[in-house]
Structure 1
């Protein structure tokens, strides 16, 4: 009896190993639609890493930069203030540098120049984010298209089968067709999460830019303090 249990267990383990399907096999079973899904996944990863590095670099404004700029402006040292901003490669520093260069002009002109620089910086921060959002929406649709075409091929094969249709043939065609939907959803969900994360980081940085510009304009609205 004990020998029979061991034999049965070994047989089940062998059958499971024989029938097991690896992740690579599943991917290859998805058909041609797995190629555009793979390309979309590469695009999503590239955009996420590239944008994340850009946003992290833009967020590294030195501590106390605004205070140092205000101190130099109040002392009338505009050259040193502009030089300090030029040495800092961040959107906030570039906006402040533009505002300092316009000191002496009407306040509205200074505000407009700072706002224009801010718009350019925001565009550079948000570049390619729309493409990442497109990947998040397109990947599930491509996966669903692959499932539809796979189901059509499966039913064609069933229709051409003479006699009784094998359950293995039916289930095999269906599960292979569903692979592209699963792959499309995985790519789409990851791209969607990455997009929302980057948007949140950009919005936080935009808020810091707006706060710094308002603080600088408030300084200029006190002409008795600006020499």
Structure 2
């Protein structure tokens, strides 16, 4: 009965029904084909994706390593400065040195360098503390240059990958003469992945670079203030 009904249908209706079924099957096939993992999706970006992935892992390593180092060196003991000042006013320089040796942070190292030069002119004491502060700040800044470099290089690598892919697409069109919007759009979206990946890596590196510089700048201001307090105590041990 169904076969008879199909024969009695208008031929155009049968064609429309068949075409609709084929389109639905094609859409289902595309949906299955496009159901790929995130890694496979990213790797469609082309050859530039691989150096960008390496830069991303290196960037994350530097960020984690700098976080641990800066946290250790920049640790502040709120009681250390007051205790050192108390010992200096009492003339107990050895006790002040012991307090500074107890902590392994940058603040203690700066204070210790000034206390060790007590007895020399104030300008030499201040110079010693400033030099030590510069050394400690350099320890904190070590490796940040890589983040600054990656923040500029990664987006450029991404754009190079995209431009190279676009050139390849249009070269293929010029040689084959096959101007297919699906081919163009598919190729373009794959190559744009390279630009997106480069921007993501660049943003991560840029954020880490400037965030750590802000932290180091804050430490520098505190170190200068503490240096001034110690110099004042050395100049006037009685606190006047």
Return the TM-score normalized by structure 1: 0.88
Whether the 8 Å CA contact 2:88–2:234 is kept in 1: the answer is no
After superposition, the CA RMSD in angstroms is: 2.2
Give the aligned partner of residue 103 of structure 1.
118
Moved more, 91-100 or 172-181: 172-181
The answer for unaligned runs of 5 or more in structure 1 is 1-7
Q: Secondary structure at the match of 1:32?
A: coil
Whether the 8 Å CA contact 1:96–1:216 is kept in 2: the answer is yes
Whether the 8 Å CA contact 1:61–1:88 is kept in 2: the answer is no
**Superposed CA offset, 1:137-182 (max 9, x none):** 11100100111111111112222324x4222221122112111101
**Superposed CA offset, 1:16-45 (max 9, x none):** 344344322222211111111111111211
Instruction: Measure, in 1, the Cα distance between the counterparts of 2:98 and 2:140.
Output: 24
- Per-residue deviation, 1:10: 10
Q: 1:224 to 1:167 in 2, by over 3 A?
A: closer
Give the aligned partner of residue 203 of structure 1.
217
Give the aligned partner of residue 37 of structure 2.
22
The aligned length equals 218
Whether the 8 Å CA contact 2:97–2:115 is kept in 1: the answer is yes
1:91 and 2:106 correspond: yes
Q: 1:224 to 1:170 in 2, by over 3 A?
A: closer
Whether the 8 Å CA contact 2:153–2:202 is kept in 1: the answer is yes
**Superposed CA offset, 1:65-96 (max 9, x none):** 00110111111111111111011111110011
1:152 and 2:177 correspond: no
